[in-house]
Amino acid sequence: HAKHGTQHPYLFYCKEHTRLAQNRFKLDVQLRKAIKKQEFFLQFQPIFSLGKQQPVICNIEALIRWKTNKGEVVSPAEFIPYAEQSGLILPMGEWIIAEAFKHWAKLVKDSGHEVGLSINISPRQFRDHSLPLRIAGQLQRYHLPARLLTLEITESAVFEHEEQALETLKQFKAIGVRLSLDDFGVGNSSLFKLKHLPLDELKIDRAFMIDVPESSADSEIVSTIIKTAGILGLSVVVEGIETEAQLEFLRKIGCDCIQGFLLGRPMDIQGIPPLLVAAKTQTLSA
């Protein structure tokens, strides 16, 4: 059998390659159908600020979900990378923005609470020249202040075409929206490189939090990133907070904001208003 494997490595490769190509083709067809059949929906995960005695909700992050006709819910981690590669992310992203704004505008209006919206923008969307104008148009349409909107972009969007990216970032700053660097720390950008970019926020990837606070090295790394971000004038959101101990640690070192299953999982928009009521009571009594 070992012989079999070494004899025709290219054959194996070709077969594997065809299988992958077929799967991709299938996914492409499925995704196009899903767009038409409106099988996508959004969930919203709260982000909490740690300034007060109790965490207070400040933003909601829109996260896409795909419910197939068989009723299974597919994670974006499985189809966003493909949609990005195939360009399908452009129509999909347009839908995400429109849908997120619709829910957000209603939430702000009904609750009278200035909660912010965070939207994930993929690298391909970020390079779409019409994006700044479309975002500005949505803000205008719903009379929402730009400072309440945060665009979460990734390192690859910023560093792969750096000069063009800087222009786009400046256009967004001119509109007044906040810019956040998502998944910080798992790619290859350094805090030093960020110094030159007009960013407002750093979202530290949850990979950093897994062994905090048990590992003193990891805890030290996180607090150093947060301190340095502060020096650079960036606010920080730490992702993936699942335990009280992690929350306590971050509160102690003066972290601005956190997000994670401990305080709120991604949920349907209906789950958000109760959190806003709690936030209001908290603000009044503090």
Binding site for Mg ion (CB under 5 A): 120, 152, 182-183
Cα(224)–Cα(181) distance, integer angstroms:
17
Does residue 34 touch ligand C2E according to CB under 6 A? no
CB of 57 vs ligand C2E, minimal distance in Å: 14
The residue range among 60-68, 172-180, 184-192, 219-227 that interacts with ligand C2E, by the rule CB under 6 A, is: 60-68
Closest CA to 43 of 268, 273, 285: 268
Q: Binding ligand C2E by CB under 6 A: which of 31, 46, 240, 257?
A: 240
Report which DSSP code applies to 75.
P
If the CB atoms of residues 154 and 219 are measured against Mg ion, the closer one turns out to be 154
- Give me the residue label for tokens 């958000």: 272
C-beta closer to ligand C2E: residue 9 or 94: 94
Q: Which range in 4-12, 162-170, 185-193, 253-261 contacts ligand C2E by CB under 6 A?
A: 253-261
Amino acid at 169: L
138 interacts with, out of ligand C2E, Mg ion, none, CB within 5 to 8 A per kind: none
Query: What residue 62 binds from ligand C2E, Mg ion, none (CB within 5 to 8 A, per partner kind)?
Result: ligand C2E
Q: Is 76 in the site for ligand C2E (CB under 6 A)?
A: yes
In this structure, how many other beta carbons lie within 10 angstroms of the beta carbon of residue 145? 12
DSSP collapsed to 3 states, 192-235:
HHHCCCCCCEEEECHHHHCCCCCCHHHHHHHHHHHHHHHHCCCE
What is the Cα–Cα distance from 27 to 21, expressed in whole angstroms?
10
Residue 60 lies near ligand C2E (rule: CB under 6 A) = no
The dihedrals phi and psi of 47, each to the nearest 5 degrees, come to -120, 135
Beta carbon nearer to ligand C2E, 152 or 256 = 152
